Structure 1
Amino acid sequence: MFILEVTPIAKSSHADTLSYFSVKKVDPGGIVEVPLRKQNVLAVVMSVNPVTNIKSQIKSAGYSLRNIHKIIEGQLYSKALLATTYTLKDYFCIPQGKITSLLSPKFLQENQSLWKKRSSHKKRAIKKQILMRPFPERIDYYKSFIREKRSDNESLIIVCPTTHECEELFYQLNKNTTHVFCLHSAISKKKRVAGYAEITERESSSVLITTPSFIDTPLFNLTTLILEHESSPRYIAAAQHLDLRVVIDTFARYVHADIMYADSIIRPERWYEIERKYIERIEPFQNVLRDVTNRIEVEQLNVPITKKITDTERIAQLNKQVAEFSTLSKKSHSRIKKSIKDKENIFIFSSRKSLAPSIICNDCGNIVVSQKTGRPYSLFNKKSKHGGTTRVFRDPLTKEVIPAYDNCMYCKGNRLVQLGVGTERIYDDLKQYQKNATIIILDDNHKLLKKERAELSSLMKDTKHPVIVISTSKGFSLEEKFDNAIVASLDSMLGRPHQNVVTECLWVLSSILRMTKGSVYIQSRNITENQLAIIYTGRYQEFIQRELQLRKELDLPPYLTKIYISKEIQKIQLKKVHVFIQELFQKEMVHIDIMSGRKKSTITLRAELTIPKGTWNPSYQEPELLLKIKELARTWNIEIEA
């Protein structure tokens, strides 16, 4: 008789490991079916102990152990993946079963015929490299690199953050070859099963282009992993606050494979590793971003006042600006008119959806907020049942919707003003061009189905009728390239108090450059040569060293680790919870913020811990601090930034 410690393969499971009896011995990494609550689930065996070794623990346990239902033949996971998830479960404070489930395609769990015995990976010296070049140049490098790997009979995996980027890369690399494969969740189940079976049965070199869910696909003689579009924020699994880049990096170590980080503009965290000789650069390294300086043009909308004016004159100027306000400048309108005349397709980016992200009263200065939650409303257009649209106020967090009103709830004045630039507001400003162009919104509230995307693609190929797409980052997955692009505003992104603001802006710009043939025009009130000098000079090394120096002075990652702990609580509990957090983390540097909750009676308490890198990293977590964090992890949200 044996005691098996297993981790359920279920996203809903909060347990780290569960214990079950088994008559037969099952090797670690094996799959068993176990009873969990009212259903049977698959679980991975993490450890095996004879009953005779732990009799005292069984007797002292306050619960009775259940038997496993059956042992499943074959292996679903490699030992390398299990070692990866075991290593990172404490670092991210996420149960091992949850991490394993994220890296396990559902179709694979359902097809036991695909479960085969995994061979162990040969130990070898590994290297880490950075490839920083424009996307077309990276494609050329990959083609040469793949030929080299094929001649050595070695396999590699290229990981992309989204299915669209997988398809884009696969289209470029699978020409005139039969050993390049693509697997991701958007492919039909039948094709996924066939593709997985084919690639795992090969006994020669192969290339797999995939999302992080398929990194454990067994390839013949795997020696390299490439992390493509490394700076993309879409590597963060938002629901679990799990950085999949760290998972892939750790997995590469356990499979003894080289890892290459590739992008047009790499993050400061990677440059930090280059400076410390953890990673080597692949030459020629792109020190001057010519694609940025040659194709991006910034239009400053702030006009400096060159002469003294009276308060009355200044108020008159501001009132005139409000009355004449347009989301797009006169230059941007001129560019749109020229593009329509030349039958060119235009992409217009806005970081926010809605008609107006905020509504303010010009008489009393109060923001329009929900009476239920106290949270600010945004203004949206809503399609009515009888056709046409109506305007509504909506809270993007709680999804509360009410009919829009014209009079201020505080002073009853009728001067409510829309603030901010949203996709719907831009659409309203461009209605004048509808006769000569097709105008489409694409964001979380205006999604395109597969059929509609195909129709848009065919419209963009029609050289007689131009298309204008107004979109958030949702539009980055469109297949066809645009002739030109306009960035309506990056100001709301730059205004966020976060260390990754600048790098996220650069990711947005590099994504727009990749989907645009011609120029990218940015209109802004905040982008200056001081703040985003790289847009004007293209000098990457100067920019990144300045960014790292600033982070060092402010005690930000990558020099220190930040642990964010948050929870929505009742307002009456604030004092009690505040004292509890301060007492729990007496030895750590803790800063506590209070933010609005989803209801008027609740608030969100967010504690920020600043931890030395040696105290908390993927390989080591200080035991006392780990115990405190794990105490909170079940009911609090934990987020790690390093």
Structure 2
Amino acid sequence: MFVLKIAPLVAIPKNQSQILTYIFKTTLPIGSLIEVPLRNRKVPAIVLGSESLRKAKLELKKQSDFSVKPISRVIFDKPLLNPLQIKTAFWLSDFYAAPLGLVLRHVLPPFWSIKRYQQSAQTPLIKAPSRETQVIPTLNFKNHYKNYQKEIRKHLKNKKQVLLLVPETSYFDYFLAPYAEFNPIIVHSGLKNKDYAKIWSKIQDNAPQLIIGTRNALFLPFNSLGLIIIDDLPHEMYQSDSTPRYQAPTLAQYLAQIYRADCIANASFPSVALFHRQKADWFVPNLDKKIKIIDMVREFGASFSILSREIQDLLLKNVQIGAQTILFVPRKGYAPSLVCQKCGQAKKCPHCQASLVVHQNDLQKDLRCHHCQYQDKIPRLCDNCGRYELKPRGIGARRVNEAILQLFKHRTESAPSIFVLNRDSATSAEGRAIVATFNKTPGAILIASPIIFSYKYLLEGLDIGILNADALTPFIDFKTELRVAQAIYNLALMAKRLVVQAFNPQHPAITAIATNNSDIFLREELTLRKNFGYPPFVHLTRLILHHPNKAKGQIEAQVIYQKLNRIITTGGFKIKLYPPVPGSIAQERGQYLWEILLKIPLPRPGYVSPEQIRERNQILRYLPSRGWQIKL
């Protein structure tokens, strides 16, 4: 008989052991798949170790409070995961404070439960030591692929595998043509199980290969990984929205360490943490174009149009000569809110404490919540004061469309072709089709939301107008200024000419990009973060409670805060805990949100040690699993 250490592929609360013990008549390899009884059901599990019952008897006697059960059955008696994939799962579970079983389920291929596709994992070949991550700035988007060609060719020549990590499938169109000579393998979550299984098998071959993939490509069974390239490092789509809520670039750099692979990352405009780490040899390239900033407070004094006179002249001229124009609109819908002109009250969602967005179809306007999908008609009266003076406030894509049609309504030129690009109107395939058609249509106008950054390599050398730059970020936090700067800088790199409309033209991020003072802006951001205790000088963990009752939620959050604070004090942990406050959105989908902030000071900025993570996780063991969410 043998004792097996296993991890069930289900969520086990962090305050309970993530690795359980079972017995079986023979030994099983690490990474094999079995089924075990757990409470009143049978669940799949991954084997993490085994030893003979004779050797394990002493340990089992110490754990006399429970009986060791036999496993139910063996599903696959060969390893589905290689040792480094299992090591990655343990790291993800620790770093992101996520249940090990759910992490292993995430690391497994999507076809893991389908018998005909199951295949044995091979042990990776690891030889050469790796170098530190090299970060390179973007000078232009058109020839951006050339930044990687030399390194790709070198590692393929040395019989190594190369992973080019991209945020979204829309990037494939840009890289596939110039890298056709390398015969790249494409990996994304939309692959069928049959195709994914073929790729999984091919990756295990000890052959030089270029893999271009989104974040799920990080879990492939690499055999001889030599280089990881992280394209467009700051992109928001690298953030996973399911457990474990990991950042793909962070995981990619960890994989480079354990596989001893080289790592190259690209960023057109760096994060504050990246700037601090690379500031000795980092520079933000100066823009070789003038950025025109329009003060919309003055504009509204002369005109009531949401389009400034500069933008109007630009559109009229480009349509006349057949040149395309992009209008960047940060918000979707017709207008971000419906506001009473008398009392200033915005119409809120009854299930979320967020403003309802005004949408308009061909027949009428309505209100929609972008958090819970609630919909309602436009009310006649203000809920607060009972007046009739309700008006849309702010600029959305549909309102811009209306303003463009109004601009050309009484002119001799016919109205231009108008395309809209946002996540509501376009999947990745539809988005690529919209961009391709726009590029071929003379005088066309593209109204684009922030999704445009996923197509920036396919759109370059055009006139771009930013409408309402003040609304570039929907939430206010310590990263707000940086996000504004990154958005404007990326649009400036794409543009032949850039016009920025803003109600606050002296916004530090806007003026920094317009005057080519990005380095000064980043140094000031570093100083502010150091003074107020934000990354990269601390490691942040957010503990978020979702509760259906506001008062009871506040009480529970306060009780947990006091409990955790007592543990920190008695344990002598160097961790700062902040009292609970309402979430950035106080209510969402009928649940009230309360947040507790946990800060770990970092002696070496940007680096949190394994010991500090272990200390944090000791504290988080006392966090209830029900209703609480952990975010980094």
TM-score (norm 2): 0.85
Cα distance in 2 for residues equivalent to 1:235 and 1:447: 19
Q: How does 1:238-637 map to 2 (within 5 A)?
A: 238-240=241-243, 241-274=245-278, 287-290=283-286, 292-294=287-289, 296-303=291-298, 325-370=304-349, 372-373=350-351, 375-381=353-359, 383=361, 388-432=362-406, 433=408, 435-448=414-427, 450=429, 452-453=430-431, 456-457=434-435, 459-464=437-442, 466-478=443-455, 480-481=458-459, 483-493=462-472, 496-509=475-488, 511-512=490-491, 516=494, 518-528=496-506, 530-569=508-547, 570-574=549-553, 576-586=555-565, 587=569, 588-595=576-583, 596-598=586-588, 603-613=592-602, 617=608, 619-621=610-612, 625-632=616-623, 634-637=625-628
Q: Is the 8 A contact 2:124 2:222 kept in 1?
A: no
Cα distance in 2 for residues equivalent to 1:353 and 1:21: 56
Deviation per CA, 1:559-596: give whole Å up to 9, x if none. 01122111122123145324313312334331421243
Q: Is the 8 A contact 1:181 1:199 kept in 2?
A: no
Q: Is the 8 A contact 1:34 1:43 kept in 2?
A: yes
Cα distance in 1 for residues equivalent to 2:420 and 2:390: 25
Q: Is the 8 A contact 2:125 2:223 kept in 1?
A: no
Cα distance in 2 for residues equivalent to 1:510 and 1:189: 40
SS state at 2:322 partner: coil
Cα distance in 2 for residues equivalent to 1:575 and 1:265: 39
Deviation per CA, 1:469-505: give whole Å up to 9, x if none. 3232234445853633222123123574322223323
Cα distance in 2 for residues equivalent to 1:407 and 1:120: 67
Aligned to 1:60: 65
SS state at 1:237 partner: coil
- Matched to 1:519, the amino acid is R
Q: Is the 8 A contact 1:380 1:424 kept in 2?
A: no
Alpha-carbon spacing, 1:185–1:18, altered in 2? closer, same or farther (3 Å): same
Q: How does 1:123-138 map to 2 (within 5 A)?
A: 123-128=127-132, 129-134=134-139, 135-136=141-142, 138=144
Q: Identical aligned pairs, as a percentage?
A: 16
Q: Is the 8 A contact 2:122 2:223 kept in 1?
A: no
- Matched to 1:542, the amino acid is I
Residue 37 of structure 1: how far off its partner (Å)? 7.6
Unaligned runs of 5+ in 2: 570-575
Q: Is the 8 A contact 2:336 2:394 kept in 1?
A: yes
- Matched to 2:610, the amino acid is S
- Matched to 1:626, the amino acid is N
Cα distance in 1 for residues equivalent to 2:448 and 2:423: 9
Cα distance in 2 for residues equivalent to 1:37 and 1:342: 72
- Matched to 2:581, the amino acid is D
Aligned to 2:572: none
Cα distance in 2 for residues equivalent to 1:198 and 1:539: 48
SS state at 2:306 partner: coil
Q: Is the 8 A contact 1:34 1:68 kept in 2?
A: yes
SS state at 2:424 partner: coil
Cα distance in 2 for residues equivalent to 1:550 and 1:492: 22
- Matched to 1:31, the amino acid is L
Alpha-carbon spacing, 1:249–1:361, altered in 2? closer, same or farther (3 Å): same
Residue 429 of structure 1: how far off its partner (Å)? 1.7
How many pairs does the alignment contain? 603
Residue 226 of structure 1: how far off its partner (Å)? 1.6
- Matched to 1:518, the amino acid is K
Q: Is the 8 A contact 1:206 1:220 kept in 2?
A: no
Aligned to 1:232: 235
Residue 552 of structure 1: how far off its partner (Å)? 0.6
TM-score (norm 1): 0.84
Alignment of 1:43 onto 2:39: no
SS state at 1:620 partner: helix
Unaligned runs of 5+ in 1: 305-317
Alpha-carbon spacing, 1:20–1:165, altered in 2? closer, same or farther (3 Å): farther
Aligned to 2:573: none
Cα distance in 1 for residues equivalent to 2:193 and 2:251: 25
Cα distance in 1 for residues equivalent to 2:194 and 2:46: 26
Cα distance in 2 for residues equivalent to 1:485 and 1:423: 15
Cα distance in 2 for residues equivalent to 1:187 and 1:506: 35
SS state at 1:335 partner: helix
Cα distance in 1 for residues equivalent to 2:76 and 2:463: 55
Cα distance in 1 for residues equivalent to 2:453 and 2:401: 18
Cα distance in 1 for residues equivalent to 2:193 and 2:255: 26
- Matched to 2:234, the amino acid is S
Alpha-carbon spacing, 1:165–1:599, altered in 2? closer, same or farther (3 Å): closer
Q: Is the 8 A contact 1:166 1:211 kept in 2?
A: no
Deviation per CA, 1:130-187: give whole Å up to 9, x if none. 222334554223112222223333332121122222442233322x344x33222345
Q: Is the 8 A contact 1:181 1:208 kept in 2?
A: yes
Q: Is the 8 A contact 2:509 2:521 kept in 1?
A: no
Cα distance in 1 for residues equivalent to 2:316 and 2:95: 53
Q: Is the 8 A contact 2:121 2:204 kept in 1?
A: no
Aligned to 1:96: 100
From 200, 209, 213, the equivalent of 2:212 is 209
Alpha-carbon spacing, 1:65–1:207, altered in 2? closer, same or farther (3 Å): same
- Matched to 2:530, the amino acid is K
Q: Is the 8 A contact 1:5 1:48 kept in 2?
A: yes
Alpha-carbon spacing, 1:37–1:356, altered in 2? closer, same or farther (3 Å): farther
Residue 599 of structure 1: how far off its partner (Å)? 6.8
Cα distance in 2 for residues equivalent to 1:29 and 1:239: 23
Deviation per CA, 1:15-54: give whole Å up to 9, x if none. 8334433222123233334456887654322233444423
SS state at 1:348 partner: strand
Q: Is the 8 A contact 1:21 1:68 kept in 2?
A: no
Alpha-carbon spacing, 1:618–1:302, altered in 2? closer, same or farther (3 Å): farther
The two structures, once aligned, show a CA RMSD in angstroms of 3.4
- Matched to 2:324, the amino acid is N
